[in-house]
Amino acid sequence: MNEKKRFFYRGVSIEMFKKTNGKLVPKSTEAFTRAFKYSELGFKYGSGAKYGSSPENAAIKHQYNQSGFPTSGVSTTPFFERAKYYSTSGDKNVPGYVYKIDRMLLEENAVTEYSINRIVTNPSIPEDAEFILVANDYGTLPDEIIVEVISLKACGSDEG
């Protein structure tokens, strides 16, 4: 089952890798919580959204239509090939990087995981089996959870 995989993967472009100095940096450092307005587009009864402010609502907004809503979460997948797809801009023959993250190291490094497929009734990209990782201080994910950074060449083959 996807939920039981030990490793998560995060694919980033070479530009993002350089911009963040190889760190897993979220788009925001605010608390990982969100409250929805009653009439907010796409969020209705049965969508998985909860009344009031919650991390689950932040996870829903984070992945909604891949709109890039800034949260303190970092998207990952248990599938290397999906991370590779994102790191190479959809297999457009560009270089990128894939982080290999050990799920067993999350708790001891104060990182919480949120499973999109468990929270959201209709995930934007269900085949990603997305997990959002959030540091307890809502900042950069600790290097200690990363067991490998895989560099992908422009030709699409792995360097490492």
pLDDT of residue 121: 79
pTM score over 0.85: no
> 3-state secondary structure string, 42-99?
CCCCCCCCCCCCEHHHHHHHHHHHHCCCCCCEEEEECCHHHHHHHHCCCCCCCCEEEE
pLDDT of residue 41: 52
Phi first, then psi: give them for residue 81, nearest 5 degrees.
Answer: -60, -35
Question: What own/partner pairs with CB < 8 Å and gap ≥ 24 does 31-39 have?
Answer: 31/72, 31/138, 32/58, 32/59, 32/71, 32/72, 32/73, 32/112, 32/134, 32/138, 33/57, 33/58, 34/58, 34/60, 34/61, 34/71, 36/61
Residue 124 has pLDDT above 90, yes or no: no
Residue 39 has pLDDT above 80, yes or no: no
Domain ranges of the chain: 2-152
Share of residues in the chain with pLDDT > 70 (%): 78
Q: Closest by alpha carbon to 11, among 72, 79, 67, 59?
A: 79
